[in-house]
């Protein structure tokens, strides 16, 4: 990819000086996307394959739809939204054979030079992982809209966008070759380049000499001057981690909606969906900048620094890796750390968030059951499909990975006597695998990177904390950088039952609690407590002591039953990180290495 696209081809060439020389005159695959009636939520797509350029030697062409999209590890079956797929033979429109859930086979005539298929795709799921079209805008995640041909995955592909007459602007990180026409060097680049179509605002700034844009869809009360300055400051700090920017342009697509739903990283861009009202509160605004920080750091971690399984992709099947704790969890770690380093978060607020993250992980029963590596491997069947028992049996590779970011950073600093930190691991991976070998790393190579940077073997700590479920020695690690590690709940005798209620029914029952051990079930409708009407768990525990017995009358499967549940003692922690007084020079230096500044 060369330069960044703006809202019209003329503006792009004038303002950014795009050089059109060297672009493919006629890519092997050409896609045309129209939206004549956006209120119906259908994109109309036509895909053409130039068989003469492809040197095709099969009697048919198989067109496929991706089953998932990179960055979101769940089989989503995008083919379910394809309708009316057909091709033209001898001037006649004919249906195409569908040979499996996501593959359409077109048989070729003798001497046929090209094949074109047309179809409609329903797009009315507004998330960063899917595509959406209505009368206000269109959003295209190419994995869920465009068909591809496996044998031509490394060939250049073009996309022509025919916007509805009411849509005046197109934003994408794909390079522009003509009016409304964009090109990708291969399938991976195409699928990793979302497209926003509509009447959104566009904000511009530079990080170094690299042009950045924000495609800003939806209404929001925001000081745009401050917002752009804050995003720029975050981007500049993020780039310092590796010390080298991987691309020559970048695009933020931001959807301002009633409710936010997170973000998804891409090769030269990201899509983030945020609550439009969040800009109006300090916490909400900080949360938006934090989301953008997370997604922006993915430019390096995942998009370039990646496990071998995460590219080139198999778009039809699961792509398994043990290392989402690093790819996603440590991106969360850096998303927060970057804002602390840039001064956009105070050190005290940052330390509080670190302590809260650790508290959440250590208070989750599944943390003692599932390792970070296992959580990563099973993301395809567990993370995006939680059930009532998930907290008892699983741990989020986001949260656990963020905690491991804290712990392994402290471990490296301690082992190297302050000569290195976690930044150096990412620089090592970036240089040795992305730049030098243009590939991802293996599990063994990842562990070796930590060993090389720390100056001692990481095998034991990986076995304990990455592949195992041991609890890190937080206190000793934090002491090295001059912080005390305490549990605000230690010594307290807090009453506890271990279940939560939503709309009158039990929503969760945590392993190790008396509710779990004595038979309350998720889905039980709580009717009475000691023959009185049930109001809430807190009111039930008021004036109760550890060891008291409570009679719960519940309705289960339409039948009433009564269970005697002893009141237990809470084993939940509430961790805090606080600075020691009279720091040694060593602690000051190591703290600087950990946080990037002294506070």
Which of the 8 DSSP states describes residue 243? S
Vertex 325 angle, CA 174 and 512, to 5°: 140
What is d(CA 70, CA 303) in angstroms, rounded to the nearest whole number?
Answer: 10
Tokens 């990080």 correspond to 207
- In Å, what is the CA distance from 375 to each residue of 297, 322, 357, 395? 22, 8, 17, 6
With DSSP H G I counted as helix, E B as strand and the rest as coil, what are the percentages for the chain, rounded to 5? 35, 30, 40
Among residues 210, 203, 235, 214, the alpha carbon closest in space to that of 342 is found at 235
What is d(CA 327, CA 335) in angstroms, rounded to the nearest whole number?
Answer: 12
**Cβ-based burial of 165 (10 A; exposed 0-12, middle 13-18, buried ≥19):** exposed
Measured between its terminal Cα atoms, the distance across the chain in Å is 42
- In Å, what is the CA distance from 64 to each residue of 48, 67, 106, 246, 387? 13, 9, 11, 30, 32
Residues in the chain: 599
What is d(CA 69, CA 192) in angstroms, rounded to the nearest whole number?
Answer: 8
Among residues 305, 286, 294, 292, the alpha carbon closest in space to that of 251 is found at 292
Q: What is the DSSP string of 90-133?
A: TTEEEE-EEEETTEEEEEPPTT--EEEEEEEEE-B--STTS-EE
Peptide bond into 312 cis (omega under 30): yes
Contact 239, 297 (CB under 8 A): no
What is d(CA 251, CA 460) in angstroms, rounded to the nearest whole number?
Answer: 41
Count CB-CB contacts under 10 A for residue 210.
Answer: 16
How do strand 195-198 and strand 169-172 relate by DSSP bridges? antiparallel
Q: E strands of 90-239, at which residues?
A: 92-95, 97-100, 103-107, 114-122, 132-133, 137-140, 147-148, 157-162, 169-172, 175-178, 181-184, 195-198, 201-207, 210-217
Among residues 504, 559, 493, 511, the alpha carbon closest in space to that of 529 is found at 504
What is d(CA 484, CA 591) in angstroms, rounded to the nearest whole number?
Answer: 13
Q: What is the DSSP string of 323-349?
A: -HIIIIIHHHHHHHHHHHHTTSS-HHH
The pLDDT value recorded for residue 13 is 31
What is d(CA 39, CA 28) in angstroms, rounded to the nearest whole number?
Answer: 32
Q: Which long-range contacts (CB under 8 A, 24 or more apart) does 83-89 make?
A: 83/42, 83/119, 83/120, 83/121, 83/122, 84/118, 84/119, 84/120, 85/117, 85/118, 85/119, 86/117, 86/118, 86/119, 87/115, 87/116, 87/117, 87/118, 88/116
In DSSP terms, 171 is beta-bridged to 196
The pLDDT value recorded for residue 28 is 95
From first to last of its 599 residues, what are the pLDDT tens digits of the chain?
333 333 433 333 323 333 333 444 689 999 999 999 999 999 999 999 999 988 899 999 999 999 999 999 999 999 999 999 999 877 778 889 999 999 999 999 888 989 999 999 999 999 999 999 999 999 999 999 999 999 999 999 999 999 999 999 999 999 999 999 999 999 999 999 999 999 999 999 999 999 999 999 999 999 999 999 999 999 999 999 999 999 999 999 999 999 999 999 999 999 999 999 999 999 999 999 999 999 999 999 999 999 999 999 999 999 999 999 999 999 999 999 999 999 999 999 999 999 999 999 999 999 999 999 999 999 999 999 999 999 999 999 999 999 999 999 999 999 999 999 999 999 999 999 999 999 999 999 999 999 999 999 999 999 999 999 999 999 999 999 999 999 999 999 999 999 999 999 999 999 999 999 999 999 999 999 998 999 999 999 999 999 999 999 999 999 999 999 999 999 999 999 999 999 999 999 999 999 986 54
What is d(CA 251, CA 253) in angstroms, rounded to the nearest whole number?
Answer: 6
How do strand 157-162 and strand 29-34 relate by DSSP bridges? parallel
Among residues 389, 386, 425, 419, the alpha carbon closest in space to that of 405 is found at 425
């Amino acid at each position: 990819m060369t330069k960044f696209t703006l809202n019209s081809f003329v503006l792009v060439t004038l303002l950014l000086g795009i050089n059109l020389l060297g672009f493919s005159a006629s890519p092997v695959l050409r896609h045309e996307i129209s939206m004549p009636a956006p209120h119906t939520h259908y994109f109309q797509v036509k895909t053409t394959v130039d068989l003469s350029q492809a040197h095709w030697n099969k009697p048919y062409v198989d067109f496929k739809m991706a089953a998932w999209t990179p960055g979101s590890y769940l089989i989503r079956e995008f083919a379910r939204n394809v309708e009316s797929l057909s091709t033209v033979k001898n001037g006649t429109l004919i249906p195409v054979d569908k040979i499996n859930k996501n593959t359409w086979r077109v048989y070729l005539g003798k001497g046929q030079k090209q094949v074109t298929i047309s179809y409609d795709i329903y797009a009315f799921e507004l998330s960063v992982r899917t595509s959406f079209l209505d009368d206000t805008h269109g959003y295209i995640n190419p994995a869920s809209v465009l068909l591809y041909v496996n044998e031509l995955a490394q060939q250049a592909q073009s996309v022509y966008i025919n916007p509805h007459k009411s849509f005046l602007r197109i934003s994408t990180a794909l390079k522009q070759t003509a009016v409304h026409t964009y090109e990708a060097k291969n399938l991976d680049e195409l699928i990793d380049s979302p497209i926003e179509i509509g009447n959104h605002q566009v904000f511009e700034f530079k990080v170094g000499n690299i042009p950045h844009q924000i495609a800003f869809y939806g209404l929001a009360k925001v000081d745009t001057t401050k917002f752009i300055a804050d995003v720029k400051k975050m981007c500049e700090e993020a780039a310092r981690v590796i010390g080298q920017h991987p691309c020559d342009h970048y695009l933020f697509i931001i959807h301002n909606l009633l409710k936010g739903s997170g973000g998804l990283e891409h090769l030269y861009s990201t899509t983030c969906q945020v609550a439009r009202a969040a800009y109006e509160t300090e916490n909400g605004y900080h949360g938006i900048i934090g989301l953008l920080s997370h997604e922006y750091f993915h430019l390096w971690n995942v998009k370039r620094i990646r496990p071998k399984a995460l590219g080139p992709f198999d778009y039809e099947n699961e792509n398994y890796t043990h290392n989402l704790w690093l790819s996603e969890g440590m991106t969360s770690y850096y998303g927060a750390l970057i804002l602390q380093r840039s001064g956009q978060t105070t050190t005290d607020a940052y330390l509080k968030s670190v302590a809260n993250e650790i508290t959440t992980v250590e208070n989750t029963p599944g943390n003692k059951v599932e390792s970070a590596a296992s959580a990563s491997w099973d993301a395809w069947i567990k993370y995006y499909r939680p059930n009532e028992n998930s907290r008892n049996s699983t741990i989020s590779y986001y949260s656990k990975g963020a905690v491991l970011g804290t712990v392994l950073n402290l471990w490296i600093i301690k082992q190297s006597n302050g000569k290195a930190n976690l930044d150096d691991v990412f620089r090592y991976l970036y240089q040795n695998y992305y730049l030098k070998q243009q590939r991802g790393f293996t599990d063994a190579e990842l562990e070796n990177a930590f060993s090389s940077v720390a100056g001692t073997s990481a095998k034991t700590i990986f076995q304990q904390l990455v592949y195992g479920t041991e609890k890190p020695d937080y206190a000793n690690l934090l002491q090295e950088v001059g912080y005390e590690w305490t549990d605000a709940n230690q010594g307290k005798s807090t009453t506890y039952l271990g279940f939560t209620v939503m709309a009158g029914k039990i929503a969760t029952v945590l392993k190790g609690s008396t509710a779990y051990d004595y038979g309350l079930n998720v889905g039980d409708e709580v009717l009475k407590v000691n023959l009185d009407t049930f109001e809430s768990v807190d009111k039930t525990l008021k004036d109760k002591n550890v060891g008291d017995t409570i009679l719960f009358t519940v309705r289960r499967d339409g039948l009433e039953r009564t269970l005697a549940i002893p009141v237990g003692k809470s084993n939940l922690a509430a961790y805090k990180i606080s600075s020691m007084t009279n720091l040694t020079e060593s602690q000051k230096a190591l703290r600087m290495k950990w946080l990037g500044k002294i506070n």
